[in-house]
Amino acid sequence: MSQVSPGRFAGKVVVVTGAAQGIGRAVAARVAAEGAHTVLVDRAELIHDVAAALAGTSADGATAVGVTADLENYEGAGGAIEEALGLRGRIDVLINNVGGTIWAKPFEHYAPDEITKEIQRSLFPTLWTCRAVLPHMIGQQSGVIVNVASVATRGVNRVPYAAAKGGVKAITAALALEAAPHGIRVVATAPGGTEAPPRKVARGPQPEGDREKAWYQQIVDQTIESSLMKRYGTLDEQAGPIAFLASDEASYITGSVLAVAGGDLG
């Protein structure tokens, strides 16, 4: 982990969703190293092992706890936020990281139920958790919501995912207007392609056959070509901007979506 700012989140309660692996786990590790009391939310039971490991490496006095929840429905999202409040008493920062392409193929090959599942995976967790945490943040007249969108809103072979992440960008812009009078900032990053270890919990089925593998390769090729740097980013390169936007250093930034994709603006 590079460029850690010790004490930047000291005493703050930070909820990170989708924290069992990938960008979410990297962000949780980053803010914990900077003093945050973290609540890690994921539907995978793996989250409890991640939280336990994080608790052992957090900055002095910082704590970490895992919560299992399915954020694709309001009951799960509301329950996760209530559990976090019960454990920590307040929420200063919510980082919405749940989402990810399930299938990779031209739009005409998507079945209707697959389209629905993509939207449920990559739009509703952010929508529901924002709704669940908002009354609490309004009550304390402070808070930060950082949503994780994507530059894949302009990309090949994942139109439903693009629609969902476009919705995340819209949530960010519209909610920032409503939340600002209550001292709440709402911001987002839009990651590009990101290198990560093999997933312990798969997002969806692996490509089968030459045609599906070729469709996925088209995504990889287009992602690299669209980046001015002609490469994928690293987990640290994604976690750093998210942590910055969540911190008091970004106190005059709201309603903005920061592309973190080597020059690809999506």
Instruction: State the catalytic residue, choosing from 110, 161, 232, 252.
Output: 161
User: What's the rounded Cα separation, in Å, for the pair 41 and 44?
Assistant: 9
Active-site residue, 252 included: no
Residue that is written with structure tokens 């996925």 in the block: 216
C-alpha torsion angle, residues 50, 52, 56, 57 (rounded to 10): 20
C-alpha dihedral sign at 174, 177, 181, 186: positive
- Would you name the residues annotated as active-site residues? 161
